[in-house]
Amino acid sequence: MLLLGLLNCVVARKGFLQMRQNLPRCGICCSRPVCRKRQRSSRKCCVMQAGTGILDGTTVSDAFFTPLKVGTLTLAHRIVMAPMTRIRADEATFAPDDLTALYYEQRASEGGLLITEAVHISPEATPIWTIYQRVTEKGGQVPGLWTTQQMLAWRKVVQRVHAKGGRIFCQLLHTGRVAQPDIALHPFVKDTDAPLPPVSSSNRGIDASDEQGNQYNWDKPSSPPRALATHEVARVIGDYVHAARLAHQAGFDGVELHAAHGYLIEQFLNDGVNDRTDAYGGTVANRCRLLKEIVAALVAELGDGRVSVRLSPTHIDPETGQSRQTYFGVGDSAPEVLYAHAVEAMNAYPLAYLMLTEPRVGGLSDAPEQERAYAYPVANADYREMYDGVLIGAGGFTPATARAAISMGIYDAIAFGRWFISNPDLPARLKAGIDLTVYERATFYGAGSEGYTDYPTLNAPLGRYRQVAQHDIGVRLPGTQKDNI
Ligand SMILES: Cc1cc2nc3c(=O)[nH]c(=O)nc-3n(C[C@H](O)[C@H](O)[C@H](O)COP(=O)(O)O)c2cc1C
CA of 191 to the centre of ligand 1 (A): 33
CA of 7 to the centre of ligand 1 (A): 48
Return the number of other C-beta atoms located less than 10 Å from residue 66's C-beta: 14
Spatial distance between the Cα atoms of 52 and 403, rounded to a whole number of angstroms: 12
Q: How far is CA 12 from CA 9, 22, 25, 34, in A?
A: 5, 16, 21, 18
Largest CA distance in the chain: 87
In short, whether 418's Cβ falls inside 6 Å of ligand 1 is yes
Spatial distance between the Cα atoms of 240 and 146, rounded to a whole number of angstroms: 9
Q: What is the pLDDT of residues 130-167, one digit of tens each?
A: 778 888 899 999 999 999 999 999 999 999 999 999 99
pLDDT at 324: 81
CA of 263 to the centre of ligand 1 (A): 14
Residue 41's nearest CA partner among 411, 462, 416 is 411
Q: What is the pLDDT of residues 83-97, one digit of tens each?
A: 999 999 999 999 999
Protein residue closest via CA to atom 6 of ligand 1: 84
pLDDT at 372: 78
In short, whether 417's Cβ falls inside 6 Å of ligand 1 is yes
In short, whether 401's Cβ falls inside 6 Å of ligand 1 is no
Tell me what the mean pLDDT of segment 309-316 comes to.
95
pLDDT at 129: 85
- For residue 273, pLDDT beyond 80: yes
Spatial distance between the Cα atoms of 385 and 89, rounded to a whole number of angstroms: 39
- For residue 185, pLDDT beyond 70: yes
Tell me what the mean pLDDT of segment 9-31 comes to.
45
Q: How far is CA 233 from CA 5, 239, 264, 279, 289, in A?
A: 72, 10, 11, 11, 11
CA of 247 to the centre of ligand 1 (A): 21
C-alpha Rg value of the chain to the nearest Å: 22
Establish how many alpha carbons lie within 13 A of residue 69's alpha carbon, considering only the half-sphere containing its beta carbon: 4
pLDDT at 364: 63
pLDDT at 377: 85
CA of 169 to the centre of ligand 1 (A): 15
Tell me what the mean pLDDT of segment 350-378 comes to.
84
pLDDT at 132: 81
Tell me what the mean pLDDT of segment 7-19 comes to.
42
- Known catalytic residue: 452? no
Spatial distance between the Cα atoms of 379 and 96, rounded to a whole number of angstroms: 35
pLDDT at 376: 82
pLDDT at 9: 43
* Angle, helix 289-302 to helix 233-250, in steps of 10 degrees: 30
Tell me what the mean pLDDT of segment 64-78 comes to.
97
In short, whether 132's Cβ falls inside 6 Å of ligand 1 is no
CA of 82 to the centre of ligand 1 (A): 6
Are 408 and 391 in contact, with CB atoms under 8 Å apart? no
Q: Which of 37-51, 366-380, 425-439 has the highest mean pLDDT?
A: 425-439
Q: How far is CA 432 from CA 211, 394, 425, in A?
A: 42, 22, 11
pLDDT at 174: 98
- For residue 50, pLDDT beyond 70: no
Beta bridge pairs of residue 355: 310, 392
Confidence band, pLDDT 50/70/90 cuts, at residue 98: very high
Of 104, 132, 240, 263, which residue is the catalytic one? 263
Confidence band, pLDDT 50/70/90 cuts, at residue 2: very low
Are 137 and 161 in contact, with CB atoms under 8 Å apart? no
Confidence band, pLDDT 50/70/90 cuts, at residue 477: very low
In short, whether 392's Cβ falls inside 6 Å of ligand 1 is no
Spatial distance between the Cα atoms of 434 and 419, rounded to a whole number of angstroms: 13
Worst-scoring range by mean pLDDT, 245-249, 345-349, 378-382? 378-382
SS3 assignment for the chain = CHHHHHHHHHHHHHHHHHHHHHCCCCCCCCCCCCCCCCCCCCCCCHHHHCCCCCCCCCCCCCHHHCCEEECCEEECCCEEECCCCCCCECCCCCCCCHHHHHHHHHHCCCCCEEEEEEEECCHHHCCCCCCCHHHHHHCCECCECCCHHHHHHHHHHHHHHHHCCCEEEEEEECCHHHCCHHHHHCHHHHCCCCCCCCEECCCCCCCHHHHHHCCCCCCCCCCCCEECCHHHHHHHHHHHHHHHHHHHHHCCCEEEEECCCCCHHHHHHCCCCCCCCCCCCCCHHHHCHHHHHHHHHHHHHHCCCCEEEEECCCEECCCCCCEECCECCECCCCHHHHHHHHHHHHHHCCCCEEEEECCCCCCCCCCHHHCHHHHCCCCCHHHHHHCCCCEEEECCCCHHHHHHHHHCCCCCEEEECHHHHHCCCHHHHHHHCCCEECCCHHHCCCCCCCCCCCCCCCCCCCCCCCEECHHHCCCCCCCCCCCCC
Protein residue closest via CA to atom 15 of ligand 1: 84
φ and ψ of 165, to 5 deg: 85, 10
Which domains are present in the chain?
42-472 (3.20.20.70)
In short, whether 123's Cβ falls inside 6 Å of ligand 1 is no
- For residue 49, pLDDT beyond 70: no
Confidence band, pLDDT 50/70/90 cuts, at residue 66: very high
Confidence band, pLDDT 50/70/90 cuts, at residue 222: confident
Q: Which of 255, 312, 361 to mutate to test the pocket of ligand 1 (most atoms within 8 A of CB)?
A: 361
Comparing 296 with 216, which gets the higher pLDDT?
296
Protein residue closest via CA to atom 13 of ligand 1: 84
Are 383 and 313 in contact, with CB atoms under 8 Å apart? yes
Q: What is the pLDDT of residues 195-207, one digit of tens each?
A: 999 999 999 998 7
Comparing 129 with 161, which gets the higher pLDDT?
161
Tell me what the mean pLDDT of segment 248-270 comes to.
98
pTM, to two decimals: 0.88
pLDDT at 371: 82
Tell me what the mean pLDDT of segment 347-373 comes to.
86
Spatial distance between the Cα atoms of 233 and 241, rounded to a whole number of angstroms: 13
Protein residue closest via CA to atom 3 of ligand 1: 84
Confidence band, pLDDT 50/70/90 cuts, at residue 6: very low
Worst-scoring range by mean pLDDT, 38-42, 171-175, 199-203? 38-42
Spatial distance between the Cα atoms of 362 and 166, rounded to a whole number of angstroms: 29
Computed over every residue of the chain, the mean pLDDT equals 86
Confidence band, pLDDT 50/70/90 cuts, at residue 361: low
In short, whether 85's Cβ falls inside 6 Å of ligand 1 is yes
